[in-house]
Amino acid sequence: MDSSSYFDFASLATLKARETVKHPENAKAVLQKFEALFIDQMLQSMRKATVRSELFDSEGIKLYESLFDKEVSEELAKSGGLGLTKSLAQQLDLDSTSLDQKNLLLELGNRSFAINKSKAMALYSSQAADL
């Protein structure tokens, strides 16, 4: 297990300093850390929502649960987790599919249309040039 995962602010600063546009793998690492943080916050909220026994309500138990939740959230995010990293990467066009192969889904009323994203941009550019 990587002990430098959630307390290492230097690694976050390094990821932040890199050019994420030129290196999409850096952006995916940031998204993975975001997903781990999201899962950790969700686990903390679930723990607060449960009734606690006086037997297991010491500061040591709370510290253990906090560290355990952070480690579980890191491992979940690394293994695919909730799919949040993948979903955000797709929305930010960070996946490996080329622009020509991507389709854009348009919804008009109750009907959906899938169009090629690059062709739609070319059509829009040509119509804008005519104005």
pLDDT in tens, 73-100: 999 998 987 888 888 888 877 654 544 4
Q: Which residue has the tokens 């890199």?
A: 18
CA separation (Å) from 102 to 87, 91, 99, 120, 125?
14, 11, 5, 11, 18
pTM (2 d.p.): 0.56
Structure tokens that stand for 28 in this block? 């995916």
What is the pLDDT at residue 9?
61
Give one DSSP letter per residue of 68-83, joined into a string: HHHHHHHHHHHTTTTS
What is the pLDDT at residue 30?
85
